[in-house]
Amino acid sequence: MPSPALFLDRDGVINRRLPDAYVRHPDEFELLPDILPILVQARQHGMLLILITNQQGVGKGLMTHAELNVVHDHMQHLLQRHTGFALDAIYACTDLATTASERRKPAPGMLLEAIAEHDIDVTASWFLGDSLTDAQAGRAAGVRTILVGPFQASDADVVVPDLASVRIIAP
Ligand SMILES: [Mg+2]
């Protein structure tokens, strides 16, 4: 039976976003505690947890794929320690914004890949993000969207001011 998924943006959702900089080292990865109950709740609803992140710092040559993987291993260990589980899958697009990439958000490529590679119930799934491009990618892939931040109500299916206000609607 297909599973619903909670697709998650990374910077500003799982970890504190660094203004005008990339998280290149585990020391720079600051977990946002308010994401933890969201992950636990989604897990209790039987949702797959799948990261969908743009990381063009690699494409710019500011960090390597290996460094990005080290940061993601660190993230998974932190989540495991705090919740008892880690994310089910990680999709990262390292293409430059200038390349018209089909994977880079706002394009839905990474979501479509994840949907193809896992048995996902698309209409019961959500994308949680903090940028308009997250909602655009989610909508293009046919999932419901939650945006955290100062957005218009029309920008996503659900708009909330902060992570603490996110309630996962049971699929
Ligand atoms: Mg973000």
Domain ranges of the chain: 5-165
Q: What percent of the chain has pLDDT over 90?
A: 95
Joined tokens for residue 8: 């998650």
Distance 8 CA to ligand 1 centre (A): 9
Active site residue 11: yes
Q: Where are the alpha helices (DSSP H) in the chain?
A: 35-44, 56-59, 65-83, 109-117, 132-141
pLDDT digits (tens, 9 = 90+) for 44-93: 999 999 999 999 999 999 999 999 999 999 999 999 999 999 999 999 99
Active site residue 20: no
Q: Which CATH architecture has domain 5-165?
A: 3-Layer(aba) Sandwich (3.40)
pTM: 0.96
DSSP code at position 29: -
Strand-pairing partners, residue 51, are 8, 90
Distance 1 CA to ligand 1 centre (A): 31
Distance 54 CA to ligand 1 centre (A): 9
